[in-house]
Amino acid sequence: MAIGRLLIANRGEIAVRIIRAARELGIRTVQAHSTADADSLAVRMADEAVEIGPPQAAKSYLNIDALLAAARKSGADAVHPGYGFLAENANFADAVTAAGLIFVGPSGDAIRIMGDKAAARAAAEAAGVPVVPGSDGRIDDPERARIVARAIGFPVMIKAAAGGGGRGIRIAHDQGEFDTLMPQASAEAKAAFGDGGLYIEKVIEKARHIEVQILGDGNSAIHCFERECSLQRRRQKLWEEAPSVVLPQAVREKLCASAVALAESVKYRGAGTLEYLYDDESQKFYFIEMNTRIQVEHPVTEMITGLDLVREMIRVAAGEPLRISQDDVRMNGHAIEVRINAEDPAKNFMPAPGTIASLRIPGGPGTRFDTLLYQGYQVPPFYDSLLGKLIVWDEMRGAALDRMVRALGELEIGGIKTTKPLHQVLAADPEVRAARFHTRWLEPWLEQNAEKMFA
Ligand code: ADP
Ligand code: ADP
Ligand code: MG
């Protein structure tokens, strides 16, 4: 293994997850952390820790110079970016490589192509992968934008080329709305992502969000089947499954093959996800974007394939060829993940940081809880609200749902509000049990079921 000491340039549950994979590979771990995270579980678990700056992410987890200094100081030979923060920042990948270190992810150039959502659409089209009808690349000229929007037909989606995390997306229902939203969207994208570039897509109504996990070593790529993440609020995933139970086998094969073709077309190295919208009725899928990193919901894929995706991404980053062939990847059973966030679902998902007074973690067969929590931990108010992910597996989806209900019943997080009550109501809902949902199903459901969330 060409990696002996790995700097973790991230925090929270994904830092813990990376430490676990590294330790099994015999790699020493160095946890980079802000002053607000000095007491975090990742810092406690890692072999070493290096402080990188104050609580504000801009001065710590997004501070490339501070992270490179931490790598130098600790003698790390590789950097894992996790998800969020700098994980899809091509300049960071290049800076890590220029410093003589291994970046656990794709090359800066691959991130530049696939991390820019307008450029990724073009790469998909070039690889023969269907995309949502929309603009050819970025659209800067307002007059051309109007012509394209009219040609696509309203409603249209205005999306930030650099967007992510469900942000930077607007829907215009008519020309008037479009004219108002375009300049707003551009200004917001500039402020949020440092890049005001926009593109336009047709709104696919009642679509499902289906994504394909891939692994590449720079030469070849394989897929690890799909996940369905249609239960979303504000375009953020709350509940994820693998596989998607609505996908016919023939469509699955085409979808997964398209993802492999696209990944290979950019000589992708690492773990990545190609996201698609899927229309049940026409059985058509449309590529929307690629996430050039490990994803929050990767464990459901691990549960149905038996693979350790974080271990594999570290191995290929170290220059090893993929040691599994496509035929080795087998799908077994069904897995569901729910995101446990420090938010109050009864109060419009208001953030609810605080101190963990008590904690009971679920266990038993087919049950996994990836978390940053320990009893007495103070959840800091500065970062993403994700506390942990409860993942269950069983042979059939129905049994997995029963297991989720059982595991949620065991989970106790005392002292703060969490999204657990939401998932309890969802797991019992007849439409959810029948998998009759799409990406815009959850929001109206939340309006109607708000009172049930007072746990
Ligand atoms: P996943 O598909 O893994 O769920 P998300 O798009 O939800 O990925 O993003 C994962 C994490 O990264 C979340 O914490 C999200 O808030 C954050 N994130 C993703 N992209 C961006 C971005 N461009 N800017 C800021 N945060 C982002
Ligand atoms: P992000 O980078 O923020 O994850 P995505 O392009 O992946 O942005 O879109 C996030 C979500 O927004 C999708 O999962 C889907 O629910 C919705 N969405 C995106 N594009 C479309 C579209 N063209 N039509 C309908 N819904 C869309
Ligand atoms: Mg996305």
Q: Which of 150, 185, 202 is the last residue of a domain?
A: 202
- The domain total for the chain is 3
Same domain for 380 and 236, yes or no, is yes
Q: Is 117 a member of any domain? A: no
Same domain for 215 and 286, yes or no, is yes
Q: What is the pLDDT of residue 166?
A: 87
Nearest listed ligand to the Cα of residue 161: 2
Same domain for 190 and 214, yes or no, is no
Same domain for 197 and 217, yes or no, is no
Peptide bond into 243 cis (omega under 30): yes
- 271 Cα–ligand 1 center, Å: 15
Q: Which whole number is the average pLDDT over 266-270?
A: 96
Pocket of ligand 1 (CB under 6 A): 83-84, 164-165, 193, 236-237, 291, 295-297, 384
Same domain for 183 and 257, yes or no, is no
- Supply angle C-alpha 385, 382, 183, rounded to 5: 85
Same domain for 386 and 261, yes or no, is yes
Residue 427 has pLDDT above 90, yes or no: yes
Helix orientation angle between 397-410 and 420-428, rounded to the nearest 10 degrees: 150
Q: Which of 170, 208, 293, 339 is catalytic?
A: 293
Domain of 271: which CATH number? 3.30.470.20
Average pLDDT, the chain: 96
Q: Which of 54, 83, 104 is the last residue of a domain?
A: 104
Residue 205 has pLDDT above 60, yes or no: yes
Q: Is 312 a member of any domain? A: yes
In this structure, the residue with its CA closest to atom 24 of ligand 1 is 164
Same domain for 389 and 335, yes or no, is yes
pLDDT band at 454 (very low <50, low <70, confident <90, very high): low
- From residue 241, give the alpha-carbon distance in Å to each of 118, 184, 237, 349, 409: 27, 35, 11, 22, 19
Same domain for 197 and 230, yes or no, is no
- 201 Cα–ligand 3 center, Å: 14
Q: What is the pLDDT of residue 69?
A: 98
Furthest CA-CA distance within the chain: 60
Task: For a ligand 1 pocket test, name from 83, 92, 370 the mutation site with the most ligand atoms within 8 angstroms of its C-beta.
Answer: 83
Supply the DSSP string of 23-45, one letter for each residue. HHTT-EEEEEEEGGGTT-HHHHH
Residue at token pair 């992708």: 268
Q: Is 286 a member of any domain? A: yes
In this structure, the residue with its CA closest to atom 2 of ligand 1 is 295
Task: For a ligand 2 pocket test, name from 199, 439, 440 the mutation site with the most ligand atoms within 8 angstroms of its C-beta.
Answer: 439
Distance between CA atoms of residues 255 and 208, nearest Å: 14
Q: Is 280 a member of any domain? A: yes
Task: For a ligand 1 pocket test, name from 210, 296, 339 the mutation site with the most ligand atoms within 8 angstroms of its C-beta.
Answer: 296
Q: What is the pLDDT of residue 118?
A: 95
Residue at token pair 């678990």: 45
pLDDT band at 403 (very low <50, low <70, confident <90, very high): very high
The token pair at 137 is 């690349």
Domain of 53: which CATH number? 3.40.50.20
Collapsing DSSP to helix, strand or coil, 65 comes out as helix
Q: What is the pLDDT of residue 452?
A: 82
Q: Which whole number is the average pLDDT over 6-33?
A: 98
Residue 170 has pLDDT above 90, yes or no: yes
Residue at token pair 């773990």: 271
Q: Which of 180, 202, 224 is the last residue of a domain?
A: 202
Distance between CA atoms of residues 380 and 290, nearest Å: 30
Same domain for 185 and 213, yes or no, is no
Q: What is the pLDDT of residue 140?
A: 86
Q: Is 126 a member of any domain? A: no
Q: Which whole number is the average pLDDT over 405-410?
A: 98
- 273 Cα–ligand 3 center, Å: 9
User: Per mean pLDDT, which range of 120-124, 188-192, 213-217 is the poorest?
Assistant: 188-192
Domain of residue 12: give its range: 5-104
Q: Which whole number is the average pLDDT over 247-263?
A: 98
Q: What is the pLDDT of residue 62?
A: 97
Q: Which whole number is the average pLDDT over 122-142?
A: 94
In short, whether 164's Cβ falls inside 6 Å of ligand 2 is: yes
Q: Which atom of ligand 2 is nearest to the CA of 202?
A: 23
Distance between CA atoms of residues 442 and 111, nearest Å: 31
- 79 Cα–ligand 2 center, Å: 29
pLDDT band at 93 (very low <50, low <70, confident <90, very high): very high
pLDDT band at 441 (very low <50, low <70, confident <90, very high): very high
Same domain for 159 and 68, yes or no, is no
Q: Is 99 a member of any domain? A: yes
Q: What is the pLDDT of residue 287?
A: 98
Q: Is 124 a member of any domain? A: no
Scanning 306-416, the segments in alpha helix (DSSP H) are 309-317, 397-410
Digit-coded pLDDT (tens) for 329-379: 999 999 999 999 999 999 999 999 999 999 999 999 999 999 999 999 999
In short, whether 207's Cβ falls inside 6 Å of ligand 2 is: yes
Distance between CA atoms of residues 26 and 42, nearest Å: 17
Digit-coded pLDDT (tens) for 307-330: 999 999 999 999 999 999 999 999
Share of the chain above pLDDT 70, in %: 100
- In total, the chain counts a number of residues equal to 455
Whether 112 and 103 have beta carbons less than 8 Å apart is answered as: no
Q: What is the pLDDT of residue 455?
A: 55
Same domain for 282 and 390, yes or no, is yes
Whether 322 and 312 have beta carbons less than 8 Å apart is answered as: yes
Active site (annotated) includes residue 368: no
Residue 29 has pLDDT above 70, yes or no: yes
Domain of 184: which CATH number? 3.30.1490.20
- 362 Cα–ligand 2 center, Å: 32
Q: Which whole number is the average pLDDT over 224-244?
A: 98
Distance between CA atoms of residues 43 and 63, nearest Å: 18
Q: Is 123 a member of any domain? A: no
pLDDT band at 145 (very low <50, low <70, confident <90, very high): very high
Same domain for 367 and 329, yes or no, is yes
Q: Which whole number is the average pLDDT over 285-297?
A: 98
- 85 Cα–ligand 1 center, Å: 8
In this structure, the residue with its CA closest to atom 17 of ligand 2 is 235
